[in-house]
Amino acid sequence: MTSSNIKITLFASLVILLGGCASGGGGLSAPTGTGGSSTSAGTGGTSSSSFTALPTQPPGAVVPTTITGTLGTTSTSAFPMIDQTTASADLGATAVMATNPIGLVTAFKATSGAGKPLVAAGAAPFGVAFGISAYPDVQGYILSSVNNNQVANVAIMQMPDGTNPMMPFHYQTFGNWTNYTTGTGGWFSIGIPTTTAMPNTGTATYKGVAAGEYISPGFKAYQTEAYMGATADFGKRTITVTTDGTYTTPNATGLTTPSLNLTGTLRVNGNNFAGPISAAGLSGKATGRFYGPGTTTTVLSTASSPAEVGGTYALHGYAGSMIGAFGGVAQ
């Protein structure tokens, strides 16, 4: 069994798992940091040029929503996306998202950096989108499409409206996608890249979460979740990314698995970063971006550090394989 075949089943449970942890059930607790300010805008069908313009869901408004329009007609602008497969990361990918009047994501369409369609979920006439309403601290979405052209799913971890203390994102989100028709899938990081001048001195610290999946040497699949931390050294042009408190969850009971904690020092190039990352018996590469405007001026620098970071990773080795994504906010 390949990881792409199990991806959406794992992630559907993963969203619920993180919700239970955020509300006091063990596992992870909320990071600090604001990641910028959020603004609400628009009603159904309006376009927005940034994630912060997406409306915040009112309490109790998370209900199934059937899509009746053509995919993309009410979408936001195309956002840059890092598409991570088990083989490589594509920094040139893009995706558009559509929302309805109460802020639910109703459509997601991704394209590779080479212009190849990757996945379209929530497409009319059979697509539905829903929030995970059982856990109020999680606003995840799973979009499904079953039509003549494609059977597909997209799982979006968190709406970037700043309301979730577990993932108070304003400029990014992450998740995974599976196209059952083509037999392909991946994890992604999507958002508004930093376009302001990057600092050339000083450091910045980020905290957040990571999620993904782990395949054991015996080909048993596990969901993973972890705290994520990152320290950017703008003078050295590096960012150290780590995870800790990693949980693996083959079922509703999480198991602490410190051997799957990740660590890596990545090279910063403009608003992107990439480099080696490892865990016990696993090695691979992480790829990420700085997201959002500068929010905090670093010591000895006139530029300010970006509000958020996010990215993806893929590792292989004698201990199995891992793939996933992460996001964090400035502290």
Q: What is the pTM of this model?
A: 0.78
Report how far residue 22's alpha carbon sits from residue 166's, in angstroms, rounded to the nearest whole number: 6
Same domain, 161 and 231: no
Is 39 domain-assigned? Answer: yes
% of the chain exceeding 90 in pLDDT: 42
Same domain, 212 and 238: yes
The pLDDT value given to residue 25? 38
Same domain, 214 and 294: yes
Range of the domain at 274: 203-330
The pLDDT value given to residue 17? 32
On average, the pLDDT of the chain sits at 73
Residue 301 confidence (pLDDT) above 90 = no
287 within 8 A of 311, measured Cβ to Cβ? yes
Is 11 domain-assigned? Answer: yes
Is 308 domain-assigned? Answer: yes
The pLDDT value given to residue 194? 92
The pLDDT value given to residue 277? 98
pLDDT digits 0-9 by tens, 167-209: 788 888 899 999 988 899 999 999 889 988 899 999 999 999 9
The pLDDT value given to residue 51? 54
Report how far residue 2's alpha carbon sits from residue 149's, in angstroms, rounded to the nearest whole number: 22
Same domain, 116 and 210: no
The pLDDT value given to residue 202? 93
Residue 44 confidence (pLDDT) above 60 = no
Same domain, 283 and 163: no
Is 235 domain-assigned? Answer: yes
pLDDT digits 0-9 by tens, 55-102: 333 333 332 333 333 333 344 567 899 999 999 999 999 988 776 655
Q: Number of structural domains, the chain?
A: 2
**β-sheet with 117-121: strand ranges across:** 65-66, 128-131, 141-146, 151-156, 172-179, 184-191, 79-84, 89-99, 105-111, 117-121
Report how far residue 256's alpha carbon sits from residue 19's, in angstroms, rounded to the nearest whole number: 17
Same domain, 138 and 172: yes
Report how far residue 322's alpha carbon sits from residue 279's, in angstroms, rounded to the nearest whole number: 9
Same domain, 281 and 313: yes
Is 242 domain-assigned? Answer: yes
Residue 120 confidence (pLDDT) above 70 = yes
Residue 327 confidence (pLDDT) above 90 = yes
Report how far residue 241's alpha carbon sits from residue 262's, in angstroms, rounded to the nearest whole number: 8
- Grouping H, G, I as helix, E, B as strand and the rest as coil, residue 67 is coil
Amino acid at 183: G
Amino acid at 281: G
Task: List CB contacts of 293: < 8 A, sequence separation 6 or more.
Answer: 36, 194, 195, 196, 304, 306, 307
% of the chain exceeding 70 in pLDDT: 62
Average of per-residue pLDDT across 288-303? 69
Same domain, 208 and 168: no
Same domain, 23 and 49: yes
Is 198 domain-assigned? Answer: no
Same domain, 179 and 219: no
Same domain, 252 and 118: no
Q: How far is CA 234 from the centre of its chain?
A: 24
Is 193 domain-assigned? Answer: no
Average of per-residue pLDDT across 207-213? 91
Same domain, 211 and 281: yes
- Name which of 241, 248, 221 is nearest 288 in CA terms: 241
